[in-house]
Amino acid sequence: EVQLVETGGGLIQPGGSLRLSCAASGFTVSSNYMSWVRQAPGKGLEWVSVIYSGGSTYYADSVKGRFTISRDNSKNTLYLQMNSLRAEDTAVYYCARQPVGATTPLDYWGQGTLVTVSS
Partner 1 sequence: SYVLTQPPSVSVAPGKTARITCGGNNIGSKSVHWYQQKPGQAPVLVIYYDSDRPSGIPERFSGSNSGNTATLTISRVEAGDEADYYCQVWDSSSDHPRVFGGGTKLTVL
CA angle 109, 115, 119 (to 5 degrees): 170
Q: How far apart are CA 21 and CA 2, in angstroms?
A: 16
Mapped onto helix, strand or coil, the DSSP state of residue 79 is strand
Residue 88 DSSP class: G
Part of the chain binding partner 1 (CB under 8 A), chosen from 9-17, 22-30, 54-62, 73-81:
54-62
Part of the chain binding partner 1 (CB under 8 A), chosen from 23-31, 39-47, 65-73, 79-87:
39-47
Q: Is 9 in the site for partner 1 (CB under 8 A)?
A: no
Q: Is 69 in the site for partner 1 (CB under 8 A)?
A: no
Q: How far apart are CA 82 and CA 19, in angstroms?
A: 6
Q: Is 112 in the site for partner 1 (CB under 8 A)?
A: yes
Give me the residues that bind partner 1 (CB under 8 A), please.
35, 37, 44-47, 50, 58-61, 94, 102-107, 109-112
